[in-house]
Structure formats: structure tokens, C-alpha cells
Structure 1
Amino acid sequence: MLQSSNLTFQYKKTDRLFRFPNIDLKTQENLLILGKSGIGKTTLLHLLAGILKPSSGIVAVNNVDITRLRDNSLDRFRGQNIGLVFQQNHAIQTLNVLENLKARLFFSYQKVNLQKIEALLAELDLLDCKTSKIQTLSEGQLQRLGIALSVIHEPELILADEPTSSLDDANCKIVLDLLVKQAAKTKANLVVITHDHRIRPYFQNTIVL
């Protein structure tokens, strides 16, 4: 469950004050947040993830107000309960695909379950490259690995930042199908922040910034 209320953020006192609409998602409800560049989409995602602290307001994930958590507690909570899909590849370059997923579970304070990892890799058509280094993967494989890293620990909340903006229609559908399917499988809230209007049909709940 995800709720936010009266969220505002300002990078510097002289900068624009961003004000964001309230969010109230029940279990397994998904949300699309649309907006043009510079409107504050990524800022909102970072607030929902606890990467940024709001100037005012609250963000609650599974009834925990993450704006009140101290750094160590916030890092632990985020690692266990939030999955992030970034625009850019954030996999550890010195590790292979399997090792990256093992590391993600380790940093989520979960036991490494090889059967669970391989089942997810098979579902995302990545099993054949589980021992491949990150720099050898194709763009499509990197995108699917990003999804795997965001869901392997079965988070309460999956946040995706512009996951389809650089994709053609066919790959756009593939990525959205994977995200929606994985969110449903783990009963997570999926929040996608983008300017890509092609993905509106995937969501019942939409906010336009």
C-alpha cells in the first residue's frame, strides 16, 4: 500500500517549490504518473522511494511513514520493501547476472535462493545468460535484468522511471507486460513515471503532473 499526502519539495530556497498530488493506492493497485520534462516526475519518484526528503508532507509504504525514518533504518526498509527500475543500467559491472541478483537479495537481508533466482531469470528469458557479464548484455537484456533486480526481493512497491521512453512499440509492450505481471505476482504496487502516453491503457489510475 502506498500513500502520500501534501508532498512538496525544493532543491534550494531560491528554486521552484514542487507540489505533488496526493496518492492513495490499496493492495495491488497500480498508478501511472504522466508529465512533460522538467515538471518533477523523477523528483516525485525519488520522494516515493525515500531517496529525497520532502520539504513537507508524508510518504507511507505499507503503513510506514518513510519520511520519519533515519538513514540506516530507511536504507534497510527501502532494500526490503521497494524495487526501483531506473532509466539507466544500475547493475554492478564487475558481477555477472546471477551474482547481481544474489547481491540484491543480500542487500535486502534475504537468503539467497538459487531456485527462485533461476525461475525469475527463466520467466524473463535471461536464464541462458546467467553467467554473462553485464557489459556483454544487449539493451533488451539489460532492461529485463533491471526488472529482475527490482522484483527478486518481492517488494511492496515497484517504482519505474521512464522504462519505455526509448523503446519502439513492440518492446514498449514487452517491458510493460513484464512489469505488470511481476507486480501482480508479488502483490506489489506498481508506479510508473513517464512522459510516454502509449502506456496509458495499462493503468486504471493516472495522475498528470
Structure 2
Amino acid sequence: MADSTTIDILADFGLTRQEAVIYSEFISHGEMTGYEVGKETGISRSNVYSSISSLVEKGALYVVQGESSKYTPVEINQFTKNRIEELTRKALYLKKHCPKKIKAADGYITIQGEKNIRNKIREMLEKTEFRLYIMASADIVREFEEDLKKLIETGKKVVILTDDFKLKGAKIYETKPENGQLRFITDSAYVLTGELTGSEHDSCLYSGQQNLVAVMKEALKNKIILLDK
């Protein structure tokens, strides 16, 4: 049976966890009947056939005609390619037909869960126009190294307070942030602060409130002054 990470990623492609388990069995074994799948997975017959029907609809399985119904998996690269292309078409439709974006609120927003926090960081990096300040451990910073390189290549100012990390073109101050600590300021306009440890319980505060931005900027400025001594 596939590992939990594979199941989680398949779920990101629109499959339920049960469907992901069954699809992974097809990928491992090839052509199978519903009975054989149930025997391999321990999933009840009714749930197996319900999931198989859904997998056929979602483009993960093909029906093989014969004396007894068999199914064969769509190759994994083709399945993921098809899903990405389908979602891209839908994303373009939504971009064209959804109500126009209103100005983002400048209040305080809580971002829960490590995946959502990482997505917010990437969004902030993509929207950075002038400068970026980060204080985080090197493990966190390395996750976004390619995004940081792109900012530097386009002339954006990048200042990083971290431990054991080098990046050409960035101003780096050697320090040791607390485990999971994250301080993130873009364009002196938006701040993301909290913890990123890899847990679903991670939480960060995001805001465009200038009072909070000013406090965060002052704290990082004071930290930089101390590190410069």
C-alpha cells in the first residue's frame, strides 16, 4: 500500500483518501477486479465499487470489458497532467467570470496550518514590489530560496536574519531565531508573524495594519543594530 504522503498528495488531486488508496493499489498491481481490490485493501465490497465508479468518472481508471468487469489505472503522470490542465482551464474561467477583486482588508487575519502558511508566504513573495525582510531559521528560508533568488534578480531588496544560510545578493544577518519562529515583512506594508514548525496547528497573524507593521519593523531594526555591533 502507498505511504501516507502519496495518499495525501493524491487527495490534493481531487481524490478522497479511500479513492487514493484504491488508485494506488491499481498503480501497483495493474488490471484488477473490484473483488481483487477489496481483498488487497480490506475495504468493503460496496465501498470499493463506489470508489471505483468515482475513479472512472475522475479519469483515474479505465473499464476493461470482459467476462467480469476489470479496471486498469490511467498512468500516474497522465492522470496528474489531465487534472492540472482541467484545473488550469477552470482557473482561467473563474478569473474571467468571477466578481472583480475588491481592495484587501487591512485588519488582522489568522492563517492556520503549515500548508496555508507556506501558501501565504509564496503569495507575499510573488506580490513583493520593493523590499522584503525575513527572520526565520535557515530550514524555513531554504524552502523559499528560488523565490528569493527571483526577487533579487528583479532588483528587489532582500534582508534575511537567520542562521547558517547564504544567498548572493541578499543582505544576511547571522542570528539564531527560536525554533519555528517566523517574522516576514513585505514593502513595509504587510506582515506575517507566528510559527512554522510543520504542524497543522501552526498559526500566523497576517495584517496590513500599519501599527503592527511599524512595531515589527522597529523590532527587526533593533535586532539588526545589535547584530551589527
Interval of TM-score (by shorter of Structure 1 and Structure 2): under 0.3
Task: Using CA pairs under 8 Å that are at least 6 residues apart, name the structure with larger relative contact order, 1 or 2.
Answer: 1
> TM-score w.r.t. structure 2 length?
0.24
The higher radius of gyration belongs to: 2
TM-score (norm 1): 0.26
